[in-house]
Amino acid sequence: HAADAHRTDLMTITRFVLNEQSKHPDSKGDFSILLNNIVLGCKFVCSAVNKAGLAKLIGLAGDTNVQGEEQKKLDVLSNEVFVKALISSGRTCILVSEEDEEATFISPPLRGKYCVVFDPLDGSSNIDCGVSIGTIFGIYLVNHLEATIDDALQPGKNMLAAGYCMYGSSCMLVLSTGNGVNGFTLDPSLGEFILTHPDIKIPKTGKIYSVNEGNAKNWDGPTAKYIENCKFPKDGSSPKSLRYVGSMVADVHRTLLYGGIFLYPADRKSPNGKLRVLYEVFPMSFLMEQAGGQAFTGKIRALDLVPKKIHERSPIFLGSYEDVEEIKALYAAAQ
């Protein structure tokens, strides 16, 4: 009968977050309002991504529309939708987007207490071939009135919530408000995200590693050794499988559900790796820890990083607890 309840007693993401918030007696619903606006942005991007192939076919993308203005690229369009939805929520004070060089400070009367860091459309090189892409976001609380850039440069462990939305064969939003990880699937006929993956826990170890091996010639010793062990295990276990989409959201989502490890290490050409601390490394690390996994930079726990610049990068190793332990041991031994 549990399955039946599932089908008729729909736990939407809004209801879920309101439930969680009712546990905090002083909550005034600000977080739910903020989240609703993020959800709106995700629904918009989902619909735009689904139409992207069609739009191309009938000659819309990159073309001029009836007003004579050029059609916006999907990542630019997504960013505008998120920025406007977030500002209009009246609950934000600082926005940091991968698409905007500078942070946006919101002034009264629309100023609120949340700082939101986000990548509106990550993995954009995958748009034109229809491979999964996603949105990543993190939320901080700012407790004082005059927000400064330092309020966006907090360590990841201070995040109040983090999540991503994956635009794949289905549209899925994965969220943590610091109390475990839950996954919601968009029911397109209802336009609602429904709880389908309650309390996600990542397996302790996994059989998959996920990395861009094309960079191998520039890797450092511990990364190279770890990948060598994945392929030629010394302890008699079976080799791991390699899966790499090249969309962080898709690669991390699979890692979260199936277990294993995702790596974007440093290499000689990019000593800080590729991925951005604020809106890629931190939210994904937060989710991993909340699901029982780990996230490591090659030096420290990823969530302990204190970024100095909003678009800073860091190497990242995240996934199943035991798999990340192994790479930590290799880096410790190389010290």
- Tokens found for residue 254: 């699979």
- Strand 111-122, strand 92-97: pairing: parallel
Our CB check for Mg ion shows the closer of 126 and 229 to be 126
Distance of closest approach, residue 246 Cβ to ligand AHM, in angstroms = 5
Tell me the three state secondary structure of residue 154. Answer: coil
Residues that contact ligand AHM, how many (by CB under 6 A) = 10
Query: 263 and 208 in contact (C-beta within 8 Å)?
Result: no
Per the listing, tokens 């790796």 go with 273
Site for ligand AHM in 260-289 (CB under 6 A): 274
Interface contacts to Mg ion, rule CB under 5 A = 119, 122
Interface map 125-154 toward ligand AHM (x if CB under 6 A): x-----------------------------
Distance of closest approach, residue 85 Cβ to Mg ion, in angstroms = 19
Partner touching 274 among Mg ion, ligand AHM, none, CB below 5 to 8 Å by kind: ligand AHM
Tell me the sheet residues that pair with 267: 219
- Tokens found for residue 309: 């610049």
225 — phi, psi (to 5°)? -65, -40
Partner touching 320 among Mg ion, ligand AHM, none, CB below 5 to 8 Å by kind: none
Identify the CA nearest to 87 among candidates 14, 135, 34, 151: 34
Our CB check for ligand AHM shows the closer of 251 and 323 to be 251
Tell me the three state secondary structure of residue 264. Answer: strand
Per CB under 6 A, the list member of 90, 155, 180, 246 interacting with ligand AHM is: 246
Our CB check for ligand AHM shows the closer of 17 and 250 to be 250
Tell me the sheet residues that pair with 185: 172, 194
Angle at which helices 221-231 and 321-333 cross, to 10°: 130
> Under the criterion CB under 6 A, does residue 124 sit at the interface with ligand AHM?
yes
Q: What Rg do the C-alpha atoms of the chain give, in angstroms?
A: 20
Partner touching 47 among ligand AHM, Mg ion, none, CB below 5 to 8 Å by kind: none
CA distance 273 to 260: 20
Our CB check for ligand AHM shows the closer of 47 and 212 to be 212
Helix (H) or strand (E) holding 72: none
Distance of closest approach, residue 245 Cβ to ligand AHM, in angstroms = 8
Our CB check for ligand AHM shows the closer of 192 and 280 to be 280
> Under the criterion CB under 6 A, does residue 248 sit at the interface with ligand AHM?
yes
Distance of closest approach, residue 271 Cβ to ligand AHM, in angstroms = 15
Query: 321 and 294 in contact (C-beta within 8 Å)?
Result: yes
Distance of closest approach, residue 217 Cβ to ligand AHM, in angstroms = 14
Distances from the Cα of 280 to the Cα of 97, 185, 218, 268, angstroms: 11, 21, 22, 21
Per CB under 6 A, the list member of 17, 85, 122, 200 interacting with ligand AHM is: 122
Residues that bind ligand AHM (CB under 6 A): 122-125, 212, 246-248, 251, 274
